[in-house]
Amino acid sequence: MKYSILSDIFKKLDSTTKRLEMIEILIELFNKTPIENFRHVIYLTSGKIGADYKNLDFGFADKMVIKVIAKAVGKPVKQISDLYKQIGDLGEVAELLIKETGQQHLGAFFQTTTSKQKNSLTIEDVWNNLHKIVNTEGKGSASKKTNILLGMFSEASPNEAKYITRTVLTQLRLGVKDLTIIEALSRKFGDGKEARVKIERAYNVTSDIGEVGEVLARNGMEGIEKITIQVGRPIRMMAAQRMASIEEILEKLGGECALEFKYDGERVQGHILNDDVSLYSRNLNEISSMYPDVEKALKNSLKSKDIIVEGEITAWDPVDEKLKPFQILMSRKRKYGINEAVQSIPVKVFLFDILYIDGESLLEKSYPQRRKILESNILDNDIIVLSSRKIVSSPVLFEEYFENAIENGCEGIMAKDTRDETQYQAGNRGFLWIKHKFDYSESFADSYDFIVVGGFYGKGRRKGTLGTLLMAAFNAEEERFETVCKLGSGFTDEDLAKVTEDLMKLKVEQRPKDVISKMTPDVWIQPTKVYEIQGADLSTSPIHTCALDEIKKDTGIAIRFPRFIRFRDDKNPDQATTTSEIINAYKNQRTKNR
């Protein structure tokens, strides 16, 4: 399959923000895609070359790509940089210049190495070259990567060069999210809604949209139904709803529920197969290398050697035998000096779920059944333990357990539904788990996870840094980011230094297509980073776009007096607080105020 077919589709996707149109365009693409290219086409449309959890990194920065374009078109680097400042998108710069200069310069450049013609690139060519780029490491890797990109430019049409450039910069920005692809797949291969549920299940179990697409192309819906858990491949995690009133939680869960401590650490999904252990974080990144102690403990402390469990890794004080705050655990998140950190920051893992054992998926089993299997599988040891738990059926006992959790250094409790229909809902945030945190009980101070979409430069002492950030909630239905507040307080000087350093790498010249904003910040930021904030309350706002027109015409909902709490590097933007959660919180607050 020619890459030009895909890049023409990208152009069409680029020209619309409407989800339905995107779905139609994707179906058109699938109709043109041979079976053997399905996987490639799906990943490339998401700007990736593998499943998300594989952490594949092209390692290209703007400056490197500017140099490649300069070389490709035989123009000075300064001219490319100036054009970039003017246009704001290196993809467009590459397109424009290659159109202008034609392939003559490149043809001459590559005369000795290639006899290929413009427009001859196939999907396989691009795929293999992108993989080569990712796999080129170590000394001299920058120039090797550069040459591979240059080679692709020599065969690319202007439009192809545009999307190749954006891909290697991880700024494809077509606005196509996994759920949109799932919708298109279910219309192509199934009969709509019913098929979508099945495809979504397969996606939640594999965390791999390319795999799902390929299975569909090869074996249709029959193949999808056969997809099952594989140890070593993360399962999208089940999440919890939030509720502020104990009475309402009890009522929602049928008058009786299990309460567990809500430990304040890092969620982990541990996959164990004999001697192989892999650990995945909340956003399914592999974190095994950071926790060799947890790896070892999991290998030795579970009866089964073919098992997937979930729990919370927390910093632990072995002398006083108590939990330590989340911030302490964060010092374990590093690339170097791991062994020292293992010694200086001991951890415990509180297991709260089990998803698979000895060849059998446990996702369909009820929570009480899963808990029983988990309980019977932990051997006596120091690191891997069960989460604390109690069944309650009265608000008094609930409150008592909640206080106990806070006294023990937890954030609050997780209330879990103990009835029969309580399977593990992979990838879903439902009411089978309800979180109730300490901050909910203090007036309206509630915490949210928002995505940074823009920044305003600071004044005075904060000059040169990003002093205030434009934050957005995730609209899961429309798959876009809607602004909800400006965040300028709660940062320490150290935080602010990290904020500027992290965010300036994600600066983009134009408003990303999937960011909906009435405001124009000093800089736009690619919606990637999630920060936890706490707000005093929610109010309607004419300047923010979250839940626009839902409560009042031309008006959104905003968080008042937001304060930064912490970085949530363990979350992806689509795991942030959603617009519908904000609408619910706003409505609940109004009911309470009456």
Minimum CB separation from ligand ATP for residue 352, in Å?
Answer: 4
Minimum CB separation from ligand ATP for residue 480, in Å?
Answer: 20
- Taking CB under 6 A as the binding criterion, the range among 258-266, 488-496, 513-521, 581-589 that sits at the site for ligand ATP is 258-266
Structure tokens of 524? 């736009």
- Taking CB under 6 A as the binding criterion, the range among 117-125, 261-269, 485-493, 557-565 that sits at the site for ligand ATP is 261-269
- Which among 226, 202, 229 is positioned nearest to 354, based on CA atoms? 229
Interface pick for ligand ATP out of 267, 271, 480, 529 (rule CB under 6 A): 267
Minimum CB separation from ligand ATP for residue 243, in Å?
Answer: 12
Other beta carbons within 10 angstroms of residue 556's beta carbon come to 26
Catalytic residue list contains 118:
no
- Taking CB under 6 A as the binding criterion, the range among 102-110, 138-146, 198-206, 257-265 that sits at the site for ligand ATP is 257-265
Single-letter amino acid, residue 196: R
Of 48, 145, 162, 262, the catalytic one is 262
Interface pick for ligand ATP out of 14, 260, 293, 417 (rule CB under 6 A): 260
Minimum CB separation from ligand ATP for residue 482, in Å?
Answer: 18
Cβ–Cβ < 8 Å for 516, 471: no
Does residue number 263 form part of the binding site for ligand ATP (CB under 6 A)? yes
Q: How many CA atoms lie within 13 A of 303 on its CB side?
A: 10
Does residue number 312 form part of the binding site for ligand ATP (CB under 6 A)? yes
Annotate each residue in 555-584 with x if it binds ligand ATP (CB under 6 A) or - if it does not, as one string.
------------------------------
Interface pick for ligand ATP out of 316, 352, 367, 398 (rule CB under 6 A): 352
Does residue number 414 form part of the binding site for ligand ATP (CB under 6 A)? yes
Residue nearest to ligand ATP (CB): 267
- Taking CB under 6 A as the binding criterion, the range among 154-162, 254-262, 292-300, 544-552 that sits at the site for ligand ATP is 254-262
Name the burial class of residue 407, with classes exposed (0-12), middle (13-18) and buried (19+) by CB atoms within 10 angstroms of its CB: exposed
Look at the block and give the residue holding tokens 């098929």.
195
Alpha helices in 308-444 (DSSP H): 326-330, 338-344, 367-375, 395-407, 438-441
Cross-strand pairs, 554: none
Does residue number 240 form part of the binding site for ligand ATP (CB under 6 A)? yes
Q: Rounded to an integer, what distance in angstroms lies between the CA atom of residue 330 and that of residue 410? A: 16
Q: Rounded to an integer, what distance in angstroms lies between the CA atom of residue 282 and that of residue 53? A: 11
Residues 360-399 that bind ligand ATP (CB under 6 A): 387
Does residue number 435 form part of the binding site for ligand ATP (CB under 6 A)? yes
Cross-strand pairs, 540: 557
Nearer to ligand ATP, 54 or 435 (CB): 435
Other beta carbons within 10 angstroms of residue 268's beta carbon come to 24
- Which among 395, 387, 369, 151 is positioned nearest to 249, based on CA atoms? 395
Helices 19-32 and 38-45 cross at an angle (nearest 10°) of 150
Minimum CB separation from ligand ATP for residue 339, in Å?
Answer: 26
Other beta carbons within 10 angstroms of residue 278's beta carbon come to 20
Q: Rounded to an integer, what distance in angstroms lies between the CA atom of residue 367 and that of residue 257? A: 11
Catalytic residues: 262
User: What residues make contact with ligand ATP under the rule CB under 6 A?
Assistant: 239-240, 260-263, 267, 282, 312, 352, 387, 414, 435, 449
